[in-house]
Chain A
Amino acid sequence: MISERLKKIICNELNLGVELVEMDENTEANEVPGWDSLNHANIIVAIEKDYGVRFKGLEILKCKNIGDLQKLVDSKTTGQK
């Protein structure tokens, strides 16, 4: 499952209405309108800021889809709770 929080951060960064965008684990970046290679880094920075975490470069590069990104966020935040 993709959390509402993650979806909201992504949509905010891309100026998209949350209700207009479908996202599941298998959605890839290029399937989300406006998510291109140039603003990819901005989205990652926005996620890091919102959750107060820091990813390693390799961890981000290994993400194939939004599901992987959610897992990465979860792995960083479970320890915090």
Chain B
Amino acid sequence: MFDLDFQKISSLLSFSPNDPLMFGSGLFLFLFFFLLLFYRLFANSKNARILLLIVFSLYFYYKASGLFFLLLILNAAANFQFGKWMGDATEQSKKRMILVLSLIFNLGILGYFKYTNFFVEIVGNIQSGSFDPVDIILPIGISFYTFKSLSYVIDIYLEMMKPTKSFRDFSLFVFFFPNILAGPIDRASKFLPQVQQDYNITRRDIAMGLMLIMMGLVKKIMIADYIGLNFVDRVFEVPLRFTGVENLLAVYGYTLQLYADFSGYSDIAIGIALLLGFKLMENFNYPFKAKSIADFWRRWHISLSSWLLDYVFRPLQINFRNWRVAGNIASLIITFTLIGLWHGANWAFIVWGLLHGVYMSIGLLTRKSKNNIFNKLKLADTKLLGFGQIFITFNLVAFSFLFFRADSFETALNILNQMFFFFKPEVFSQFIAGYTPTFILIAFGFLFHFLPGSLLDKSVSVLEGMPLVVQALILAVVIWSVVQVQYADLQPFIYFQF
């Protein structure tokens, strides 16, 4: 009997494809509880604490991706070495050579796993019209940790930071389990100093961490998974079976689902890190409150957009500066196409990115004339204008996510076709009657989003004032209610595929 149990436990704990240790799963909560317990026990021994985190992080990554954890170790070792060489180099030409080598190494590995089939397909189509895909499994999180490590080498090159002398600290930066699978793509310059700090978290940190974890679970399981499985997936599968009004709601629903899924994940990651004494980078800041596409990108997937702003857009823009506006536009188009391509080797992502590049360029070209018109009409800084800008920005974003989600251009076109030629607004009341919980959740999701940000601070203060037992009780109640609403098995986080 013991043998049987032992086998069960070992199979539960070992790597199985498509079954990462997801935040929110029972097993994760169980293991995390023990991690926190030992972590607090070792609070005064820095070495033991860091070692514990490294071992747990490696295990967490092994559980999600099996032997690919060796690739992760290679990534850390190589980039630590690149950083050291870069720091030791005195001549600019040598620094440049090390930068190029690290780019080839990091982007080469990422490219091999992520883009080989895309290029094989293009070449195959040109040559013979057919292609045989190469059997390559994408190591989970590779896009995130590759960018994380790269930022370290580039920041040393740009003299924004000095290389760390500790391979142990750098490994923890690369392996750190809360953000290894889907970000936030933290910067070494912000993370490494925290490794050396004592474990000294305040009551406020604990309350904030718990609040973020609870909010993340609600966003992910109650909102994203529910509306995805019950409504959005069905419409996107056969849009022609639904009217235009339902297709429109599905596109809005998907926009909310993606936000709730990814920002929910980020909230949990940031919350977990906070309980371990680490402050990770903010990843979302109420993106649907954005009044322009540029504003949207300062609020959506901030750790990726700021990465590309610092390491792609700025260098391009400086190089193209003599072309004036044309230089800015070229830099925008290239940067946003790369944002699309970062998500995957797929024409839909490229179109999605390109669309945002075009939005940004139009915004840039019309910036002055728009401001003049607003001033003339005395609309500048009015609530009416703000509302209009938020509405238009949201619709532009939702339109772009239509391509992000649709399996093919045909599906996207079908959805648009239904919206424009088969709208049938009278179906709206039937939709509310037929999909009441979905409708309530979509409405609740958007309402929640548009509440003032200060409300979060206030709720954290209330939670902070409660005894630990009550806090734990609230956490348990939230987990319990989330499980009640859980429609099916926990769905993988959408951003795990990137």
Contact yes or no, A61 B314, CB < 8 A: yes
Stretch in contact with the other chain, from B55-63, B261-269, B319-327, B457-465: B319-327
B-side contacts of A38, CB under 8 Å: 294, 328, 364
Chain B interface: which of A1-9, A41-49, A72-80? Answer: A41-49
A62 at interface (Cβ–Cβ under 8 A)? Answer: yes
> Mask for B311-341, Cβ within 8 A of A = 1, else 0?
0011101111110100110000000000000
In-complex Cβ contact of A44 among B315, B318, B364 (8 A): B318
Name the one of A42, A58, A62 contacting B324, with C-beta atoms under 8 angstroms.
A42
A60-B318 contact in complex given A37-B309, A37-B313, C-beta closer than 8 Å: yes
Contact with A along B436-459 (1 / 0, CB 8 A): 000000000000000000000000
- Is A57 within 8 A of B315, CB to CB? yes
User: A37 CA to B314 CA in the complex, in Å?
Assistant: 8
The reply to whether A41 and B315 form a contact with Cβ atoms under 8 Å apart is: no
Assess whether B314 is in contact with A45, with CB atoms less than 8 Å apart. no
Q: Is A40 an interface residue (CB 8 A)?
A: yes
Q: How far is the CA of A54 from the CA of B159 in the complex (A)?
A: 21
**Complex CA–CA separation, A44 to B92 (angstroms):** 23
Q: Taking the nearest CB of chain B, how far is it from the CB of A55, in angstroms?
A: 8
Please tell me if the beta carbons of A40 and B294 are within 8 angstroms of each other in the complex.
no
Closest to B154 in A: A61
Quick check: is B384 within 8 A (CB to CB) of the other chain? no
A21 to chain B, nearest CB (A): 19
Chain B residues in 8 Å Cβ range of A36: 294
Chain B residues with Cβ below 8 Å from A37 are: 309, 313-314, 317
How far is B328's CA from A44's CA once the two chains are assembled, in angstroms? 13
Contacts of B158 in A (CB 8 A): 58, 61-62
Question: Looking across the interface, which residue of chain A has its beta carbon closest to that of B319?
Answer: A57
Q: How far is the CA of A62 from the CA of B154 in the complex (A)?
A: 11
Closest to A57 in B: B318
Residue ID in chain A nearest B297 by CB atoms: A37
Distance, CA A40 to CA B313, complexed state (A) = 11
| Complex Cα spacing A11 to B339, Å | 33
Of B317, B319, B322, B324, which one neighbours A40 at CB under 8 angstroms? B317
Residues on the B chain within 8 Å of A62, using CB: 158-159
The reply to whether the CB of A64 lies closer than 8 angstroms to some CB of chain B is: yes
**Cβ–Cβ contact A45 & B322, under 8 A:** yes
The reply to whether the CB of B134 lies closer than 8 angstroms to some CB of chain A is: no
**Minimum Cβ distance to chain A for residue B265 (Å):** 27
A42 to B159, CA, bound (A): 24
Q: Are B313 and A44 in contact (CB under 8 A)?
A: no
Bound Cα distance from A70 to B232, whole angstroms? 54
Asked whether B433 is an interface residue with its Cβ less than 8 Å from the other chain, the reply is no
With a CB–CB cut-off of 8 A, which chain A residues contact B314?
A: 37, 40, 61
- Give the residues in chain A near B319, CB-CB below 8 Å: 57
Minimum CB–CB distance for B332 against chain A, Å: 8
- Which of B160, B313, B324 sits near A45, CB closer than 8 Å? B324
- List chain B residues, Cβ under 8 A from A60: 318
Return the chain B residue nearest A44 by Cβ.
B321
Contact check, B309 vs A41: say whether CB atoms are below 8 A apart. no
Residues A64 and B318 in contact in the complex (CB < 8 Å), given A38-B364, A41-B327, A42-B324:
no
Please give, as numbers and ranges, the residues of chain B lying within 8 Å of A61 by CB-CB distance. Answer: 158, 314-315, 318
Q: Hey, which chain B residues are within 8 Å of A58, CB to CB? A: 92, 158
Cβ contacts under 8 Å, B322 to chain A: 45
What is the CA–CA distance of A37 and B159 in the complex, to the nearest angstrom?
Answer: 20
Q: Smallest CB-CB separation from A39: which chain B residue?
A: B328
Contacts of A42 in B (CB 8 A): 324
Say whether, besides A37-B314, A62-B159, A45 and B328 are in contact (CB < 8 Å): no
Whole-angstrom CA separation of A64 from B314 in the bound complex = 13
The answer to whether B317 touches A41, judged by C-beta atoms less than 8 angstroms apart, is yes
Take A57-B319, A60-B318 as given contacts and tell me if A41 and B160 are in contact as well, using a CB distance cutoff of 8 Å. Answer: no
**Given A44-B321, A61-B158, 4 further pairs, Cβ under 8 A:** A38-B294, A40-B317, A58-B92, A61-B315
Residues of A within 8 A of B (CB): 36-38, 40-42, 44-45, 57-58, 60-62, 64
Chain B residues packing against A (C-beta within 8 Å): 92, 158-160, 294, 309, 313-315, 317-322, 324, 327-328, 364
Pairs A-B, 6 closest by C-beta atoms:
A41-B321, A57-B318, A41-B317, A60-B318, A45-B321, A62-B159
| 22 A-B pairs in the complex with CB atoms less than 8 angstroms apart | A36-B294, A37-B309, A37-B314, A37-B317, A41-B318, A41-B320, A41-B321, A41-B324, A41-B327, A41-B328, A44-B318, A44-B321, A45-B321, A45-B324, A57-B315, A58-B92, A58-B158, A60-B318, A61-B158, A61-B314, A61-B318, A64-B160
